[in-house]
Amino acid sequence: MSAAAIIDAEAAAARAEAVVRGAGSSFFWGMRVLPPARRRAIYAVYAFCRAVDDIVDEPGEPAEQRARLDAWRAEIDGLYDGRPPADPIALALLPAIRRYDLPRAEFEAVIDGMEMDLDARNLAPAMAELRLYCRRVAGAVGLLSVRCFGADEPVAAELAVVLGEALQLTNILRDLGEDAADGRLYLPAELLERHGVAARAPEAVLDHPALPAVCRDLAAVARERYAEARALMARCDRRRLRPVVLMMASYEPLLDRLEAAGWREPRRRIALPAWRKLLLLRHLIP
């Protein structure tokens, strides 16, 4: 590798790390406990996910957003087919893909999940459609992540998918107000129908008196996934999965707080208090 190529690779890695730092995620510290090569790999995966997520979340014309997602599909194809990447985040992904055998299909699944938002398939979707969305935007990220962490056994992959669904459902239950403001409603049609909610306009659903019952039912599904994840975690090497332990230890208490609040003010965003976030750092101690 030429000196110029090394400099470019280092700049790309620095760019990915800057994305992670700039996001202000509490999981940054979970990533910091990893050895340098694995840390750079997960930074690159996170930066990729952030890049494609921003395409959908930031204002823009759907056709232009779809074109940008397609450009990322081309970047991912190029990483596996031997074409030089054009985006620095894609360049940062290249050593991670080679070193940890990251599956192309999971990167493609993340992009497919973002495209589901563009296609408005998130307006009171069927439960099966919601689970597919969770598998793409959370399970795929989890599968890429556990490989970066060094846990490539089948049970770790199963854990990534199950916990990914639990985390994404918790996000959905936390972000009802923000999603409604963007015209999105991830609450599944079956639960809305079960509780007599005929409306499908997001703001109307948030104002419906049966909303708390709908949310409690979806929270029960998330609880089942957390229980499955704990059982799977018991069969894994927890030392390799400390960042995963941190995520689970932060999101399940968040679900506790959401349930305690009862979704009586669905537009109010619930978060963990600062002292609880500090306590989470104990999960990073070997």
Contact of 36 with 13, CB cutoff 8 Å: no
The per-residue pLDDT for 147 is 95
Q: Give 122-142 pLDDT, tens digit per residue.
A: 899 999 999 999 999 999 999
pTM: 0.91
Q: Give 153-198 pLDDT, tens digit per residue.
A: 999 999 999 999 999 999 999 999 999 999 999 999 999 999 999 9
Per CATH, the homologous superfamily of domain 1-103 is: Farnesyl Diphosphate Synthase (1.10.600.10)
**Are the folds of 1-103 and 120-272 the same?**
yes
Residue 233 CA to residue 236 CA, distance in Å, equals 5
DSSP states of 150-213 as a string? Answer: T--SHHHHHHHHHHHHHHHHHHHHH-HHHHHHTT-B-S-HHHHHHTT----SHHHHHTSTTHHH
Domain 120-272 is in which class? mainly alpha
The per-residue pLDDT for 29 is 63
Give the model's confidence band at 245: pLDDT under 50 very low, under 70 low, under 90 confident, else very high.
Answer: confident
**What's the longest Cα–Cα distance across the chain?**
65
Q: Give 53-96 pLDDT, tens digit per residue.
A: 999 988 888 899 999 999 999 999 999 999 999 999 999 999 99
From residue 222, alpha-carbon distances to 135, 218, 251, 259 in Å are 14, 6, 10, 12
Residues 6+ apart with CB under 8 A from 26: 250, 277, 280
Contact of 20 with 43, CB cutoff 8 Å: yes
Give the model's confidence band at 3: pLDDT under 50 very low, under 70 low, under 90 confident, else very high.
Answer: very low
Domain ranges for the chain = 1-103, 120-272
The per-residue pLDDT for 53 is 94
